[in-house]
Amino acid sequence: MNDEWVVAYYAKDPIEAELLKGLLESQSIEAQVSSNGMIGGVGELPADAIETSIKVMAEDYNQARQVLESYEKDDSREIFCPDCGETNFTNFELCWSCGKALASA
Ligand SMILES: [Zn+2]
């Protein structure tokens, strides 16, 4: 049995889960998103009891973890405007809020 699915990551929410699934698939890693919030009796669970896990094939696990770990470390996708403090993505050259040039370190 070589088609075993293992949990590679617990996402914060279904949106992140879908994003990461796409990221894995872009690396030719087959991925599934599963949420235990779908099981009967929904409605009484608080939102944070819903667990969204991303599963990959056991044979892809190590590769998937590398992709996911580099995703986790990559918190440089956002920068803060030195002038007004708004959050901007790193590919912005000017602050969307105040229009000042963003410092590129
Ligand atoms: Zn600004």
99 Cα–ligand 1 center, Å: 6
Long-range contacts, stretch 59-67, CB < 8 angstroms, 24+ apart: 59/2, 60/29, 60/30, 61/6, 61/8, 63/27, 63/29, 64/8, 64/9, 64/24, 64/29, 64/31, 65/8, 67/23, 67/24, 67/27, 67/29
100 Cα–ligand 1 center, Å: 6
How much is the pLDDT for 105?
Answer: 46
Q: Say whether pTM exceeds 0.75.
A: no
Distance CA(93)–CA(104), nearest Å, equals: 9
With respect to CATH, is domain 5-74 assigned 3.30.70.1530?
A: yes
What residue segments make up the domains of the chain, in order of their start?
Answer: 5-74, 76-105
Dihedral sign computed on CA atoms, order 32, 52, 71, 103: positive
12 Cα–ligand 1 center, Å: 28
The DSSP bridge partners found for residue 78 are: 89
pLDDT tens digits, one per residue of 70-94: 877 766 667 788 899 988 777 778 9
How much is the pLDDT for 31?
Answer: 96
72 Cα–ligand 1 center, Å: 26
pLDDT tens digits, one per residue of 4-48: 999 999 988 888 898 899 999 999 999 999 876 555 455 555 555
Distance CA(11)–CA(19), nearest Å, equals: 10
